Structure formats: C-alpha cells, structure tokens
Structure 1
Amino acid sequence: MTAWLVLAKAGSKRISEGYDDNPATHYSWDSTVPNHGRLNVGDVIVLWDGKELLGLSVIEDITVGQATKTTPFCLKCKKADVAERKKKLPRFVCWNQKCKHEDEKAGWKTKQVTTYRSRHEAGWIPARGELMARRLRQLCVQEDSQNSLRELRWDDFRHALTHSGTPLPLRIIDTAQDVIASGHTTATIRVRKGQPAFRKHLLEVFGEVCAFTGPAPAQALEAAHLYSYAANGKHHKGGGLLLRRDLHRLFDLGLIAVNPKSKTLHLADALKTYPDYAKLDGAPLTVSVTADHLKWLARHWNMHRVNEPSPVIPPQSNVVEVVTA
C-alpha cells in the first residue's frame, strides 16, 4: 500500500501557486512539485499543516489539467527559491542556502504547468493532533525530505496512529480502497450532512426526533446519511436518520453503532466513561426504521464492529419512497 504525507497549510507554499486545499475533501498541486506524478487513485493521503496531523483518507480520483503559472525567482541567483515575508523587511528572501539574498523585489516568470486535484472526501478520517511534526517526519520513507509530497511508511504510520491513544475508525481506509478497486460497486459507509431538502424530508418523516435519544430541537438535529453521499451523489430510500449533532459525529467515527438485529445502540468502550453517553448503550432506537435503514445500518455495523458477530437482517415489507432532492 502506498501512502503520502502532503502539506496543507495556508501560506506554506510558494508565492502565486493558487492552491485551494480543503483537507477534508480535496488537495491540489502541480508539476513543479517533486513527486507530482507519483500519486494515484487508491493511495492513502495523509494531510498535515507542518505542525501536526490533520487527518487521512484514500484518493478517489485525480483531475489532471493544464494552467499558466507565474512564479517568482531570486534576482541574484536566478533560482525559484523565493519566499515572501509578511512582516519583516526586505519583502523577499531567497531560500537557497548558498544565496539567501534579500530584496524588496523579485523576478517573475510565466510557464505552463500540469495541475492535479485529488478528491478524498468519502473516506476522510479527522485526526488533528494525533501525531506531531517530528513523529510524522520520522515515518516518511526519506526522513530528511522537505518536499510537500512525501512518501510514508504506511505500516509504521498505521501502527503509530493505532497507538496514539484515540480510537480511530481506520477500517474505513481498507473499505474505501476495496470500493475504489472494485469500481465503486459498493457503498463506503460514511455519515454526511445532507442537503437542506434531504433534512427537510427527514423532519417531515420523523418529526423533531433524534433517532438515538428522542425529541430534540430542530436546530440541534442533522441529516445523517447512512452511506457515502459524496461517493453516490444521490439520496437513497432508507438512507438517512436525524441525529443530534454530537451523536452524528460519534456515529461518523464509529464510536456509536446500531445493532441492526436488535435495533439497539452499541457504544465503544471509550464512550462508556461518560455517564450521559454510557446510558445510551443498549438503548433502542427512538424511531421506526425500515428494511432499507437496517440494510445501511448493517453495513455500518460490519465496518465498525469487526469483532462483533455480523447480524442477520430479517426481510421486511415496509419501505419508504426514494428521496429526490
């Protein structure tokens, strides 16, 4: 398995690069960056901000294009190693160790570059601060690399993350890769905040009721997709429930799952130390669900409760109409 540590930090890249990174959804770079052509669909992408880990996912696709790029260069050594200072003067400084020229001006050149934009939303696992910069550098194939795109030793990285102290649903990475390898023939079970129309529909079906805890103000309820909306791009019947915001997040991480056979909540041990959450363990769903809901919940269960027995879902006849939003 190939994994990449990529830098996503405002102001960290060179002047006029024009990147629009959003760590949780996409990452962009171009052919001026070392290793630019080595990233592939199905690779693990690990994002950091130069100080700490932000999260990780699997590359779903890479859009390749062409663009005109204007970049600065040092007026003394003529190399494109110029950084722009925000506070200190002179404004520009050359990063070339043999030059280090400082100047109020820089030279500028225009060239054609190949652009790359990866998408990785469906499998995104937030992990801010779980590993810090020094440890991340140690886990790179080349520990002394200064490149924005650095290859990671995946097995060592995964081991370090597993022992970071916070339970993370790393099985999502394996499942996302299986989905991509099979041509998206199955759904990656993720929870996503839906479109306003989808949330409105759920409010009409269930009322102002959290599926885990019962009645709640509409302002506190989110439309939780029980599948990857990012990967599917449509709303499926039985594919959503209303969840309180904090519970939505915990469900997303797999810290709360629903046993689709008993229709009861199952909490990870890490949550049972919190009294308000602990009392939910074993509690039944507060809304009536259909066979389609149970189908999606079973896949979520199988992803996050790998050590639990896979329940068999009995057939049911009651279904809901397909939601189009």
Structure 2
Amino acid sequence: MIETRALTMRFGQIEALTSLDIAVGDGVTGLVGANGAGKSTLIKILLGLLEPTSGTASVLGHDVATQGPEIRRLVGYMPEHDCLPPDVSASDFVVHLGRMSGLPATVARERAADILRHVGLDEERYRQMGGYSTGMKQRAKLAQALVHDPRLVFLDEPTNGLDPAARVDMLQLVQRIGRDFGIAVLVTSHLLGELEKVSDHVIVLDGGHLLRSSATADFLHHTGGLLVEVLGGDAARDQLGEALARAGLACRPRGAVVVVDPPSDPLAVHDLVRDTVADLGLGLVRLQADQGHLEDVFLPGGGTHG
C-alpha cells in the first residue's frame, strides 16, 4: 500500500524526517510518536501535498512526486484539525466531497447516507456542523474520508480532543474500517497505548527517525514476569513488595502493582505470591502475566533507529 525509501524532509535547518524506510500493507497500521515526531509531515508527503527534500515514496503504486492527484483520488484523508464549514450539514458536506471524488450525484447521496449511519451520525446528519460536539465533528471528518470507497485511508489523530468514552468509540470505528470494510488504514496518534488495541502493525517515529516497525503482537510479547495487585493502595503494594523481596524474588513497584521479574520456576512463584498475600492478610486483586507495551520501545534498549 505504501513504501518509502530514504525519505527525508527538511524545513530550513530543521529535519522533520530522516532517511525513512517504511512499508505499509493491508489492515490497520498505527503510526505513533510524540507531537513533532514527523507523523503529519509524512502523511502530507504521501498525499503529494509536500515535496520531500530527498528519497522516494509510493502510495498504491503511484509516485508521490508525480502522481499526487491520482493518489488523492484513490485514498481518503481525515485531517487532524477542525476544518468543517459550520453552516453546512454533515449530509450536504459528505455528499459534496463524494461528488468531488467523482461519484455521480445519486450515488454520492446514497453513499453519504450509508457512511454517516456507519459512523453514528444518522440522526444528526441534517444538522449544521457548527453545532456539533467535538466527537460528532470527528465522525463527520471520518465519513468524508470514506464516502468514495477508498482503498486506503489516512486518519490523522482521529481521537484528538475526545473524552475517554468517545476515544473508545472512535478506535472501534477505526478497527471496523480495516476489518469489516476491508480498507487499509494508516492511523496516527501520540498516545501509544491507544493503537496497540486496534492496530495490526505499528510504526514508531521519534524525532523524524524510524524507531521501530513491526507487527503489534511483537510489541506485546509476554515478558516472563508477573503483575500482582492487592487492595490497600501504595502502602499494601509496598508491604507485599518488601515481603516478596525477603522471600528472594526480584520485584519493583509500577503504578498500583508489584512487578515480579521472570522467575526460573513460574509455578512455584505463583504459589509463593499467593501464600505471601494470604499471610499478610491482603486482598488479591489480580495475578497475571506481564506483557510488553508500545511505550517500552522508548525505554533504553527498547528499540533502534531504522
């Protein structure tokens, strides 16, 4: 779907992207990194809206340097920032964007009604968008990106400005696009934990460099350690950690839990933890395997520049 080779972008003395080599296939690909990592710059290059300083990139087999209009005809784009006309209804707006993408008027109206229903704006589609909540505006932006049935969509920070419940709803929509609609998705976020829930593949940028690109499952491997949580807050957590350390286990606090390093005999350690919790008279909330997370790639030794 997408391929870049030695892609570099400079703005004066600032290098936004540095010799970037990435490949994006089907499904949902998460593009993650802190604000300023180069995510939005990369998307604008892939859309043919910015000319890279050096290197090459192709989208759906088309060269971004010479075939930008064709790329923009074939893909959908949901921009990060609010760009909706306030005095226009979602229905009229999505129909208009459908017609601009080449759909006949009747087909555009049918597609707009269908896609607005899919994104949850069916009952609100005739309201002017200036009165929409942030969540509704994000859904309208998503609808216009999908109306022309693209093969690939770029979703730039689709959860931006949403409350936790609306974030979950938006991420579920993103997952459905890739899974049920069969449309390849490149979705950006600076919140790494979000995308590990919905992405098949993750690309991590750091200061314009490729930090890591791999299947999401590779980030979420079982570390071999254990997470133990008990009732009673930090005091109970520390009490348990000290008791487990006296019993010979290597452990440390992480938020509300005690992390036990990978043991040589997992079954025996499970029994030891259970018995220690019982001996201390604490309430056991959970005892589970510790998995890696996307954030771990930013820890020392967690990733290398590509």
TM-score grouping bracket, smaller chain normalisation: under 0.3
By relative contact order (CA 8 Å, sep 6+), the higher-ranking structure is: 2
TM-score, structure 1 normalization: 0.25
TM-score, structure 2 normalization: 0.26
